[in-house]
Structures are given as C-alpha cells and as structure tokens.
C-alpha cells in the first residue's frame, strides 16, 4: 500500500449476465493521494467487469512495472494484464508480451487514447480492448463514493447498471481496439 494512501471499502454485489458471473465481493482499495474518485471508480469497475478467480489489485500508481489489476492462474502465471487510465504504448506492449490477455479501462476519451498509440509498436494491439463508458457517467457516479461504499454492478447486453449507496446510474459499455 502506498504511503499516504486512504483505504476505501467497497461491498460489491456483482451480476454480470453477459459473462454468467454472479458474486458478492468485499474490496479494500488503497486510493493514492494523486488519484481522483473517477480514476478509483474506474479501477473498481474494471475489477468487477473482469472478475474471475485469481484477480487482484496491484500496487497500481505506486508501482511502475505493474498494471492496476492482474489475473493469475492456479500456477501463479500471469493470465491477464488490466490497465486503468491512459497507459502508454510501451506498457501495453510489455503487458501483451507477459500476459495472454490485456485490456484497458479508461475514464478518458478512448478515441484520443487510441490515436496517441498510432504508429507505435504494441504486441497484439488489435486484440486489446479499450473499454469506456458514456460521457459524464463516471464523474456523476463517482460523486456518490464514500469511505465505505455499497455497490451493485449489473451488466446485461453490454449495458452497465450501477447502484452506489442507493443512487442508480447506468451506461453503455463501449469497446474499441488499441490497433
């Protein structure tokens, strides 16, 4: 955990109909002093939307050699490298060389992000989804985050229904590819 980090606790009820994943999660999330609520919510949503056995948050902003989230198989081999925010092409290239699957969840404009990678080497870039949400969704939803937050995350037909401490929000889940 980063020095000066603030711990947030999320109790998540997950119902991802699209993937057939249903679970109750208890997450302790260290928020780095330079991290915004919007970025932290993006990390939590990435965790929920990628949830499977072996998923963990990493040191994130405090570590320059790891993505925000990793998924390891039963042998501890890296199976997925999940970036949050606006990683550079070199990080995606590295992640794609190390893991079988890479994804990016962004709170930024995905078209501008993908354009910033144009002409740069990204191993299997055409297989890396860049996931985003409707404009304004993350900013509005993040305003409901408290140190202890109850979340209900429901996904059906690539549409996200999110309840945060009794307030409901929704967004389409958008995907473009890195290359």
What's 40's domain CATH number?
A: 3.10.640.10
Residue 113 lies in a domain: yes
Q: How many domains does the chain have?
A: 1
Distance CA 13, CA 61 (A): 26
Residue 149 neighbours by CB distance under 10 Å: 18
List of the chain residues with pLDDT < 50? 1
Residue 89 lies in a domain: yes
pLDDT at 63: 62
Is there a contact between 2 and 59 (Cβ–Cβ < 8 Å)?
yes
DSSP state of 34: T
Residue 105 lies in a domain: yes
Residue 144 lies in a domain: yes
pLDDT at 4: 81
pTM score, two decimals?
Answer: 0.94
Distance CA 19, CA 157 (A): 10
Which of these, 43, 48, 54, 45, lies nearest to 22 by C-alpha position?
48
Residue 98 lies in a domain: yes
Residue 1 lies in a domain: no
Give me the domain span that covers residue 78.
6-177
Residue 61 lies in a domain: yes
Q: What is the pLDDT of residues 34-82, one digit of tens each?
A: 899 999 999 999 999 999 999 999 986 556 688 999 999 999 999 999 9
Residue 11 lies in a domain: yes
pLDDT at 3: 62
């Amino acid at each position: 955990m980063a020095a000066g980090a603030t711990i947030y606790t999320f109790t998540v009820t997950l119902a991802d109909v699209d993937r057939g994943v249903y679970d109750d999660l208890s997450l302790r999330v260290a928020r780095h002093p330079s991290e915004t609520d919007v970025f932290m919510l993006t990390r939590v949503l990435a965790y929920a939307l990628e949830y499977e056995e072996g998923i963990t948050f990493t040191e994130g902003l405090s570590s320059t050699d790891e993505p925000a989230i990793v998924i390891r198989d039963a042998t501890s081999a890296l199976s997925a490298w999940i970036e949050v925010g606006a990683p550079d092409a070199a990080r995606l290239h590295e992640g794609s060389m190390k893991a079988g699957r890479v994804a990016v969840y962004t709170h930024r404009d995905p078209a501008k992000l993908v354009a910033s990678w144009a002409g740069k080497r990204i191993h299997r870039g055409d297989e890396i989804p860049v996931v985003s949400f409707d404009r304004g969704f993350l900013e509005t939803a993040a305003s409901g985050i408290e140190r202890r937050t109850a979340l209900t995350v429901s996904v059906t037909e690539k549409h996200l229904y999110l309840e945060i401490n009794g307030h409901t929000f929704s967004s389409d889940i958008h995907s473009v590819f890195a290359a």
